[in-house]
Amino acid sequence: MQYPAPISKLIDGFMKLPGIGPKTASRLAFYVLNMKEDDVLDFAKALVNAKRDLTHCSSCFYITDQDPCVICDDSHRNRSVICVVEDSKDVMAMEKMQEYNGLYHVLHGAISPMDGVGPEDIHIPELIKRLQDDTVQEVILASNPSIEGEATAMYLSRMIKPTGIRVTRLAHGLPVGGDLEYADEVTLSRAVEGRREL
């Protein structure tokens, strides 16, 4: 027995989201059906408005509803440091920490020859152009600790170091409360490489 077409379309819509399989999509669809109509309309408006009203900052490529974004527009930020991240979500993760006060550059991806993604397919040329300004003294490479993230960090390091700008990489290691026996070899290796004196 099949669901009526409107429910099937709703389920198919939810299944387009990452990590949502048929069962979860069905649960979400039936949850929406049981919501008040005003709540459903507010939810639908929020989806449409987010898609319609958001853009990317012309300077750092962070997702924003104004250009430049609030971070680039903030005169209290340290303009001598740029943290390079793969995605806008990574900016939010850094901001939650409330320790970093510099600027960002969002690549919107990572170099991945297997997937046909080269340096020109993400916002690397725009980063290199930003670095021509004498204000920047350090670039923090905060790409993910994946094969693609490491390849991107190495590529950027080779591009930036000849300019005399300091290039640093976020340290990777063991999480707080983690046990050595459960750590993978790469994480342990990074933890040993990033050790510091007490």
Tens digit of pLDDT for each residue in 20-49? Answer: 999 999 999 999 999 999 999 999 999 999
Instruction: Enter the pTM of the model.
Output: 0.81
pLDDT at 189: 78
Per-residue CA distances from 168 to 62, 76, 90, 140, 165 (Å): 21, 22, 17, 5, 10
All CATH 3.40.1360.10 domain ranges of the chain, comma separated, are 70-169
Nearest to 56 by CA among 122, 153, 155, 151: 122
The CATH number of 70-169 is 3.40.1360.10
5-53: CATH architecture = Orthogonal Bundle (1.10)
pLDDT tens digit string along 80-126? Answer: 999 999 999 999 999 998 889 999 999 999 999 999 999 999 999 99
pLDDT beyond 70 at 198: no
Predicted confidence (pLDDT) per residue in 48-72, tens digit: 999 999 999 999 999 999 999 999 9
**Cβ pair 98, 169 in contact under 8 A:** no
16 in the Ramachandran plot: left (φ > 0), alpha (ψ -120 to 50) or beta? Answer: alpha
User: What tokens appear for 171 in the block?
Assistant: 């340290």
Span(s) in the chain for CATH 1.10.8.420: 5-53
Going by pLDDT thresholds of 50, 70 and 90, the confidence category of residue 9 is: very high
pLDDT value at residue 160: 96
